[in-house]
Copies of this chain bind each other. A is one copy, B any other.
């Protein structure tokens, strides 16, 4: 189904809205935590519910290998498998597969499973089918995502192949759609704009993706190593081309500076492994920047994780307690850091939404940039 965004409030280019799907309503801007292997870090469905998570991302690459898309399909898709009633967006698997140096031709990508060495062949059509089996509310087309910087001819080839694959992926999705609707699974499919940091190429990629026509649009291939100014410029030129009445999704972005910049330019959806990955390594997000809790200076620190935030139930624990758990390799430490970081990121996005509604987004953007671009703050 084509997804529309009902814009409730704007503040500059930033917008607060709602997106209705068959499953329910998503308030935007929205951050989607990443549930790589059908669990978000150490969080299961009851944790996600408690945190108020609206939509999680599932990794097609990992899930198609283990436990396999057929099995998840038989057990009711990711929703049935995880007992998760919220939304699920799945990626196409391409991003992970390209990191494995696959054999790629116009047909698709051939790669070996990191689990057992079995060879797989992922095509645009296959990516659409697998994501349907996973029961995604929103699925993504298979795309080509070059790292940055890349030579112009690499960026150009990626755009061309992404567009060809998008057409095939869209056709496969639409061919299977009537059957899915019959089963009560009216899914949406997003196209992906590539083009690196080349604004002209971004515009071309956006226009050709729009010509195919999708239920929503994503910006891919950014936040992969380029500087903030380059990112903002390439993003802005992409967003200018995307329809205002459909959701816009920035793939793989979740740091505070990136979020506030992208929301400011009018992006609605985000996903990122950052909160869970940092949590796994004992680093927490706070109103004063990142904090590595393994640092010896926290050994005696009876203070809360972030004095300015206690929305997640972890605010009761001290830095000293979490440092101890991390230092003795007790998994509870990593879990509590993950819970905190996911809740903190959701709260940041919720506060951005409130700022848009109240017409004070510019001030909030400045505050976030003041903290997170200060020298020494990471």
Q: Which residues of A contact B (CB under 8 A)?
A: 37-39, 41-46, 62, 66-67, 71, 74-75, 81-83, 299-300, 302, 313, 316-318, 320-321, 323-325, 327-328, 330-336
A83 near B316 with CB under 8 A, answer yes
Q: Which 8 A-B pairs have the closest CB atoms?
A: A39-B332, A67-B324, A83-B316, A37-B328, A37-B330, A66-B328, A42-B331, A39-B330
With CB as the reference atom, state the residue of chain B lying closest to A335.
B42
Asked whether A75 and B320 contact (CB < 8 A) given A330-B37, A331-B335, the answer is yes
Known contacts A42-B331, A44-B336, A75-B302, A66 near B316 by CB under 8 Å:
no
- Whether A321 contacts B71 by the Cβ 8 Å rule is no
A313 vs B324: C-alpha distance when bound (angstroms): 28
Chain B residue at smallest Cβ distance from A36 = B330
Minimum distance in angstroms from A365 CB to a CB of chain B: 34
- Some 17 contacts from A to B, beta carbons below 8 A apart, are A37-B324, A37-B328, A38-B321, A38-B325, A42-B331, A62-B328, A66-B328, A67-B323, A67-B324, A67-B328, A75-B300, A75-B320, A75-B321, A81-B318, A82-B317, A83-B316, A331-B331
Q: Which residues of B contact A324 (CB under 8 A)?
A: 37-38, 66-67, 81
CB proximity of A276 to chain B, nearest CB, Å: 11
Contact across chains for B66 and A321 when beta carbons are under 8 A apart: no
CA distance A45 to B336 in the complex (A): 11
Question: Which residues from B are CB-within-8-Å of A316?
Answer: 45-46, 83
Cβ B320 vs Cβ A71 within 8 A: yes
Please measure, in the bound complex, the distance between the C-alpha atom of A44 and the C-alpha atom of B334, giving whole angstroms.
12
Residue picked from A75, A327, A333, A336, most chain B C-beta under 10 Å: A75
Question: Beyond A39-B332, A66-B327, is A83–B321 a contact (Cβ under 8 Å)?
Answer: yes
How many angstroms from the CA of A43 to the CA of B42 in the assembled complex? 12
Bound-complex Cα distance A43 to B335 (A): 9
Assembled-state Cα–Cα distance A198/B66 (Å): 53
Q: Is the CB of B332 within 8 A of A42?
A: yes
Partner pick for A313 among B37, B39, B46, B74, CB 8 A cutoff:
B46
